[in-house]
Amino acid sequence: MAPVNRINIQSYFETRSKVPLIDVRSPAEFEKGHIPGAINLPLFENEERAKVGILYKQSGKLNAILKGLDIVGRKQTEIAKNAIKISKNNKLNIHCWRGGMRSESVAWLLSLIGLDCAVLEGGYRAYRRYIKNEFSKSWKFIIIGGMTGSGKTDLIENLAKKNKQVIDLERLANHKGSAFGGIGKGNQPGTEQFENNLYEEFLGFEINQEIWIEDESKSVGRVNIPDEIFLNMRKSPVVEIKMNKEWRIQRLVKEYAGLDAEHLTAAILRIQKRLGGLNTKTCLKAIEDGDFEKAIELVLMYYDKAYQKGLAFRETKSILPFKIANKNFEVNAELLLEYYKTQNPQIN
């Protein structure tokens, strides 16, 4: 096999908008985690990859390669036709797990039909190392904290409209973080893909500029915030959003009252040990009766205590209280920026 062209991970990010990327790993590998924007053009299907792997362990490398050639031989035309459709200006970048035999063989095949291909050095594994290293940089987070229902996500969205650097972890996780957070949301990504999608948010960020990010626990539903990011969040300044309980309950009623009562019941049962038997029973009856204000007020007893407990682990001097006195969150976002600047005159 003739030598193939290679591209390092840094160069890939610099040229990604101009050259499509194909991921030749199996569909299962791709589903677990892939580079956002990559197109899966598998050399082996899941079962085929498993067979080659077993043969490698049992009979050695040569027999595994021969089996692989036998499988791929029947697919070459289909792979080539699909690659032509995906290519842009006759160019493609290719990767597998380590930038080895799978991606090299596909690059060789596609070069025969005149495509200009480059293999990503180190493959998907190099990409994962790269983003982990990027997460470890000294990003300047400002944490938006506050009790459940106080409008943290609304502030994030409105700060984004003002061209501030923001990260909406709950949007990326497709979950709101609480026992109720997955209702009506559909499936979450796996943790690995969540991390990959999260890194996309950092592309184009200026490291010397503040990034507004909502306070979260380590887990957002079933996905975990990367250690590198979470540790940075825990030592970053917090703007604690203060909103009166009545407004919070009104907002939460609007958000949850229209959802499936069975799902709400199931969510309450997931936290029944923390709510206590009597509160759980009262809460379930309130939902049955359609009294969502009462149900939410009871649930907030637990979540407010949990929030205060978590806040106690932070340094008091790093917590800045910000009172919400307006129901217009476009206005609130502007007031928040003004408030934070008075506390930190050096920010832009």
Residues noted as catalytic: 96
Q: With 0-12 CB in 10 A as exposed, 13-18 as middle and 19+ as buried, what is 265?
A: middle
Beta bridge partners of 95: 23
Scored b (16 or more CB within 10 A) or e, 170-183 reads bebbbbbbbbbbbb
State the Cα–Cα distance between residues 307 and 297, nearest whole angstrom: 15
Beta bridge partners of 116: 91
Q: How many residues does the chain have?
A: 348
Contact 145, 243 (CB under 8 A): no
Sign of CA dihedral 260, 263, 269, 271: negative
State the Cα–Cα distance between residues 277 and 275, nearest whole angstrom: 7
State the Cα–Cα distance between residues 148 and 23, nearest whole angstrom: 40
For the chain, state the CA radius of gyration. 25
Tokens of 153: 């996500």
State the Cα–Cα distance between residues 109 and 174, nearest whole angstrom: 39
Contact 340, 140 (CB under 8 A): no
In degrees, rounded to 5, the angle at the alpha carbon of residue 114 between the alpha carbons of residues 111 and 117 is 45
| Coil, strand or helix at 5 | strand
> E strands of 152-209, at which residues?
165-167
Residues 6 or more apart whose CB falls under 8 angstroms from that of 249 comprise 149, 293, 296, 297, 300
| Coil, strand or helix at 120 | strand
Only one residue has tokens 């063989």, namely 105
